[in-house]
Amino acid sequence: MASVRRRAAYHAAMLPDPDAAYLALKARDARFDGRLFVGVTSTGVYCRPVCRVRTPRFENCRFFATRAQAEAAAFRPCLKCRPEIAPGLSQMDSSRALAEHAARAIEQAVHAGDELPLPLLAARLGVTDRHLRRIFHAAHGVTPVEYLTTQRLLLAKQLLTDTAQPVTHVALASGFASLRRFNAAFRQRYRLAPTQLRREGAGRGDAAALRLAYRPPYDLEGVLGFLARRQLDGVEEVDTVTLTLRRTLAVMHQGRRLAGWVQARFVPERHEVHVAAADSLAPALGEVLRRMRQALDLDADPGEIDAVMARLPLPPRPGLRLPGALDGFEVAVRTVLGQQVTVKAARTLLARLVERFGEPLATPFPALHRLFPSPESLAAASAEAIGTLGIVRQRVGALQALAREVAAGRLALHRGAAVEPTLASLRALPGVGEWTAQLVVMRALAWPDAWPASDIGLMNALGTRDPKRVAELAEPWQPWRAYALMRLWQHVETT
């Protein structure tokens, strides 16, 4: 019976062209990392296509589009190439947007340590839970519950391998209600105990060893340059020489607010980012990793994006990325204060806001000493106190309206939120127009087709002040218009 289920799962999940998949595996082609997984029947293990072990024979390979499909077919993750660190998929990688949005919502809930009952998720998406199960299985080859279990176990596997956290802490951080359930699920899926993985895995380390992979090429100069030009003193530090980004961060995890520092260092020769975090953020490392993936756009597929960007009237920039957000509320505040002012002027206003309302934080880095103001602190502040920072009355009203909505939980600014309802909620706020709404969903929700047609920098780059003409010029760049915007911004800011 088990073999029948295995074969059925394989045939439902198998990629359409095994021959092409095997060629990618033999070449260890990093472009397919995260888009292709191979289960090896002789070992019962599934790997990334970049795995450095000896290439298995073709007849022993079973190819899958996702990790969840491989695990549903009874394969367990490789301890060497570690499928849990492979890049994921961007929001434009599937035509079945509803199923993809459900998957992102599940991933966000897992890493935040929250529960997300299927009926609640279905209601949020405006469908019945039965319909959600059907379209989810059609898109991902597994049920939402199986997908959720895979996400939890892969997060646990990464924490067990890369950190020294006690197994009990790992179980809770991965969303399991009890250590007993965690041990049972881990043994059933991976056929070894969590403590055994620690003894036999690829080396027990600490938070500094947390790894995230990306598909090459990656435009490091473009991403770090963009972030450096917008660096917020006291909160961020961008080092373009050591390819390192550091910043302070506060997250909500299982009802608790945790604050500390995070660091991301690019390792281009491995196509990886190595992430470290303060001990105070240890319970929320899964959430930190999820946010870092989005902030650095590690899930992007440059093969698809670069082909469209070749239509721009600019020299090619291989590996173009869309810098996202570690804190969606912060991005929204930055965007509001950036209305009708230069990047330099916006940085000045933001620095004043941080100094006045940001909570002090001790870190081992002299450049990092404050948290970005919380939604609660800005919502509770008087308009006069914010206005004394040189922020005009209209911006003050927009900031406080935004802060109240986020603090009350009525406005979610993360990748798991639905784009259109979020746009509608943003447009309804006083002082927030289409330009602001589009930029917020672009960076906070990682929406790759956002298009603020009235952006001055965009108009300057395209040589027109007519928004309709701007929209016409952008049609060939769909569904990656936000990447086109980033490339045009780079051109204006660096020439």
Catalytic residue annotation:
47, 455
User: How, if at all, do strands 236-239 and 244-253 pair?
Assistant: antiparallel
CB 321 within 8 A of CB 297: yes
CA–CA gap between residue 376 and residue 361 (Å, rounded): 17
Could you tell me if 298 and 87 are in contact, meaning their C-beta atoms sit under 8 angstroms apart? yes
* Sign (positive or negative) of CA dihedral 72, 75, 80, 81: negative
How many Å apart are CA 382 and CA 361, to the nearest integer? 23
- CA 47 to CA 205: how far, in whole Å? 22
275 close to 262: Cβ distance less than 8 angstroms: yes
Please, how many CA atoms are within 13 Å of residue 355, restricted to the half-sphere of its CB?
A: 10
HSE (CB half, 13 Å, CA atoms) of 249? 31
What does the alpha-carbon distance between residue 158 and residue 209 come to, in Å, rounded to a whole number?
Answer: 10
Structure tokens at 382: 């008087």
Per the structure block, which two tokens stand in for 344?
A: 């330099």
Q: Which residue has the tokens 């309302």?
A: 357
Dist. CA 482–CA 162, nearest whole Å: 34
**DSSP designation for 165:** -
**Which CA distances in Å does 172 have to 4, 19, 117, 121, 138?**
34, 41, 17, 22, 30
CA atoms of 284 and 278, how far apart (whole Å): 10
